[in-house]
Amino acid sequence: MHHHAQVTTAQGTVRGVQHDGVHAFRGIPYAAPLTGASRFAAPEAPRPWSGVRESAVSPTAPTPPPGSRVNGLDLTALTGDGWIEGLEYLTLNVWTPEPAAAGLPVMLFVHGGGFLAGTGQALLYDGTSFARNGVVLVTCNYRLGAPGWLLLPGRPDNRGTLDVIAALSWIQENIAAFGGDPGNVTIFGQSAGAALTATVLAHPAAPTLLCRAISQSGNAMGAFTTEQATRVTYAVARHLGVRPTIEDFADIPDARLVSAITGIAGLDLTTEEQPDPLLGLTPLAPVLTAGTLEQQPAEAVASGAAAGIDLLVGTNTDEAALYLAPTGALAATSEEDLLALAARIHPEPHGLLHAYRAQHPHASAAQLRTAIMTDHLFASGSRRLAHAHAQHPDSRTYSYEFSWRSAAFDGNLGACHCIELPFVFNRADLPSLSGPQALLGPGPAPLEEAAAVHATWARFASTGDLDGHHSDGSTQALRIESLTPTPVAS
């Protein structure tokens, strides 16, 4: 007999769905619906409702049609099936082992997708395993594309960050009713979601909303300068044939905003001051502006933002292989390809290549290309965040490297971007993830390794303590290092 629990939140009552002993509450609004000009405003408080709101799939942020096959790799389990239209998409989903419990650790997951795509209700981000491990797991949608990230004069910047702050505020107000402890909240994000998580750490409200944070394959040095963001705004306005003002943007339908962002893909954002931190992969990212994000998130953390928040930050060994292996471009890497990449990153491309060759003397051209692109997009900005945080020893800092190699695409995919997600959520058994051209490759699914990595994430959320946990016996794929200086015994 299925008993569907009801929970009363500050806005109204929700009814969950029970499955395998876990209660799921989907599609709860944490902010007001978005229309017209309000799409470019700060999020407003969620509207109350009367009666009982049933758990249901929610609309999603407007996204491009799922060309979700990255070069022949089907990633719909991670990105969702595409745009579900509707105004009320600032929603979250809650999985709990027992709504009547009290004091359970809480985790909020912030999905990736290049600030353009994705949803918190994608198949892979099911919170059942976390709930079984005694964690209240929350996933959310946040604004993507122009509504989330386009710099518009007179409007708040980094609106996607403000959405996630609003979701964290909803958790403070409501999560106790689902069994969670508002005093033990961990935010974790992957890719764009990890870069966004870093902007949350830099936000003054972070210490009142968070206890811990995890950055999976982010870049805390990846925010655009105002000059770069303005270049994007002008390009989008030109593409739409309008002026770059809120008056002109307020009336443009969501679908046209999406196609305009897609239409400026590949825009080069290199300026005299800064290379394009995202190498043209996406034209949107957090923006450095007065008021919301005055410096790169890693620099804010170095100055003491997030000092009291435990942090786990890491990357995968071959992140960039996701973008290079499926097309065959990786195997075909030439000296010209290496120089062209180095030139996008550094004013002295030959010197950069020389330094990498000295560091990796036996690497092939393909391996060097992966290493350089992985560092620029993810690893160096993540290392900077970890070391910045470790300067403030009143909370813990851990770094990790995830090295499990997928044999997909003839063994070239390796420990690519996104590969840790099925481990973290303990969903390595999802059929769409296995196969010769699927994320986890052919071969048997790595179920034991996934359970071990997942347990590590749940343990960090519970206690913040991973000492003595540097390499779990059942998986060599995850190497964790403590960066917290050992306090001197008095």
Secondary-structure breakdown of the chain: helix, strand, coil percentages, each rounded to the nearest 5: 35, 15, 50
Q: Clarify whether 191 is annotated catalytic.
A: yes
Q: Do residues 97 and 104 touch, judged by C-beta distance below 8 A?
A: yes
Taking alpha carbons only, the member of 89, 41, 30, 40 closest to residue 63 is 89
In the set 23, 389, 417, 454, the catalytic residue is 417
Beta strand 104-110 pairing with 136-140:
parallel
Q: Do residues 343 and 275 touch, judged by C-beta distance below 8 A?
A: no
- Distance separating alpha carbons of residues 54 and 206, to the nearest angstrom: 31
* Structure-token match 């249901």, residue found: 56
* Structure-token match 């017209």, residue found: 36
- Distance separating alpha carbons of residues 407 and 404, to the nearest angstrom: 10
In the set 23, 55, 129, 319, the catalytic residue is 319
- Distance separating alpha carbons of residues 276 and 291, to the nearest angstrom: 23
**Alpha-carbon separation of residue 467 from 106, 213, 463, 487 (angstroms):** 21, 16, 11, 14
Q: Clarify whether 360 is annotated catalytic.
A: no
Q: How many residues are recorded in the chain?
A: 490
Dig out the tokens for 27 from the structure.
Answer: 């599609």
Q: Do residues 274 and 228 touch, judged by C-beta distance below 8 A?
A: yes
Q: Do residues 180 and 168 touch, judged by C-beta distance below 8 A?
A: no
Q: Do residues 30 and 46 touch, judged by C-beta distance below 8 A?
A: yes
- Distance separating alpha carbons of residues 52 and 239, to the nearest angstrom: 44
Taking alpha carbons only, the member of 69, 71, 70, 68 closest to residue 327 is 71
Q: Clarify whether 173 is annotated catalytic.
A: no
- Cβ density class 154-172: b for 16+ within 10 Å, e for less: ebebbbbbbbbbbbbbbbe
Beta strand 212-216 pairing with 180-190:
parallel
Q: Do residues 469 and 478 touch, judged by C-beta distance below 8 A?
A: no
Give the CA diameter of the chain. Answer: 68
Catalytic residues: 191, 319, 417
